[in-house]
Amino acid sequence: MKILTEHIEVPGIETIDVYRKHGGYQAVEKALKKMTPDEVTEEVKKSGLRGRGGAGFPVGMKWSFLAKPEGVPRYLVCNADESEPGTFKDHYLMWKSPHTLIEGMIVSSFALGANTSYIYVRGELMYVIHILEKAIQEAYDKGLLGKNILGSGYDLDLFVQSGGGAYICGEETALLESLEGKRGNPRNKPPFPAVKGLWQCPTVVNNVESIAATSWIVNNGGDAYAQIGVGRSTGTKLISASGHIRKPGVYEIPLGITVEDFIYSDEWCGGIRDGHKLKAVVAGGSSVPILPAEMILTTATGEKRLMTYESLSDGGFATGTMLGSGGFIVMDETTCIVHNTLTFARFYHHESCGQCSPCREGTGWMDKVIKRIELGQGRKEDIDLLVDVAKKIEGNTICPLGDAAAWPVSAAIRHFRDEFEWHIDHPELATQPGAVYMRPGASWSN
């Protein structure tokens, strides 16, 4: 079942003429000519579509929170500031099929009553920005953007804004600050963007994948979308698969397939690279807890783990993780967990905006202490120190970047504490080039 990527390999699909030949912009015609904004919102609610940027909050419910005061403009902002290590699905969709996003922006803006909308793109992706700008101009030329779209009386102007390369601007309020021309620091909430967002006006911020899915929902109905997937994890999900697998890439999967099938099936990742075994997986981008092989494949109750929001989080952080943004990083037995954790910790230290003391100071401490362990200069008490620092950060910052920095460190120690201890107890071995701790009796999977 393909919703977003069905035609993504069609030659010329990035152009409006080819896109329309394959059913493109039918959702715009249907929404603007045959539906009311409330009816579009209701279909999205029925679909059960959840935010695909990481939080997984129901999109239709988020739309229904939008304040609608008289005489005050409303805005839709697409969060395309995809900066989570291990995640590249939105980049792929915008690059290959920009009109998929633009059509979703028109449908979603109509539902929200927004007459001006923005796509905020990670600044490093300048070539994607050029692709989007070209596609937007094509939409204007065909009367699909601008004044009186398709004679419906609805007006919409759509703009692309490049970010400054800051991970923090993936947080919706920091993104809005940046869009207004300020430093990208997160805002205190409340008030939430739905009440006071861009330029203090009601604003909805949604992820690329979330917005792109709305066109299919309008064309086929929310009930049809809800029939795909399992339980509250409806529809399909784009997964950025990378690491030690035979077939890295972006895959659109129906939510509900098993993690084992996703990793080992030839239809998806094709299994672990030849001659190696699965050691660990980061399932939803660098900010979610890492899990060892035995926990990512099965839950604590012995059931097969599914690629759904609920199944991946089964057991809480003790034995579970999160689907997050879908950045699926696979590691085989050659991976040093301490080194991997240091890489993540260094990233979050670098990307902290510095506004909150626990994050500003704590991410630096974690970076330094893990580096000390990695260099063979660690002390036994450093492991508990890292756990304590992570606890002091978690839940004590304005935005979730603090949590995103703390969770990978806590999880790595929770599940691979013996590897950290080995680095401390045997620095002469741990500091050898390519040295990796081999867990006694580890149940790594073929």
Residue 442 has pLDDT above 80, yes or no: no
pLDDT band at residue 150 using 50, 70 and 90 as cut-offs? very high
Q: pTM, whole model, 2 decimals? A: 0.94
The helix or strand, by DSSP H or E, that contains position 37, with its residue range, turns out to be helix 37-47
| Paired tokens of 205 | 């911020």
Residue 444 has pLDDT above 80, yes or no: no
Residue 445 has pLDDT above 70, yes or no: no
- 286: which DSSP letter? T
In the predicted model, what is the mean pLDDT of residues 302-325?
96
Check residue 439 and give its pLDDT.
72
Residue 415 has pLDDT above 70, yes or no: yes
Q: 95, 134 in Cβ contact below 8 A?
A: no
Q: How far apart are CA 342 and CA 348, in angstroms?
A: 10
Spatial CB neighbours of 109, under 8 Å, sequence gap ≥ 6: 76, 115, 117, 156, 158
Express each pLDDT in 344-371 by its tens digit. 999 999 999 999 999 999 999 999 999 9
Q: 308, 259 in Cβ contact below 8 A?
A: no
Q: How far apart are CA 349 and CA 363, in angstroms?
A: 5
Residue 153 has pLDDT above 90, yes or no: yes
Residue 69 has pLDDT above 50, yes or no: yes
Express each pLDDT in 372-385 by its tens digit. 999 999 999 999 99
Question: Mean pLDDT across the chain, nearest whole number?
Answer: 95
Cα–Cα separations (whole angstroms), residue 227 to 232, 234, 313: 10, 7, 22
Residue 436 has pLDDT above 90, yes or no: no
Express each pLDDT in 85-137 by its tens digit. 999 999 999 999 999 999 999 999 999 999 999 999 999 999 999 999 999 99
In the predicted model, what is the mean pLDDT of residues 8-24?
97
Spatial CB neighbours of 159, under 8 Å, sequence gap ≥ 6: 116, 117, 118, 119
Q: What is the CA radius of gyration of the chain?
A: 22
- End-to-end Cα spacing for the chain: 28
Check residue 272 and give its pLDDT.
97
* Alpha-carbon torsion, ordered 318, 323, 329, 333, to 10 deg: 30
CA torsion sign for 356, 359, 362, 364 is negative
Q: 335, 436 in Cβ contact below 8 A?
A: yes
Q: How far apart are CA 144 and CA 138, in angstroms?
A: 9
Q: Is the peptide bond before 191 cis (omega within 30 degrees of 0)?
A: yes
Residue 278 has pLDDT above 70, yes or no: yes
Residue 443 has pLDDT above 50, yes or no: no
Q: Which of 18, 28, 217 is nearest to 105 (CA)?
A: 28
| Paired tokens of 37 | 């904004």
pLDDT band at residue 441 using 50, 70 and 90 as cut-offs? low
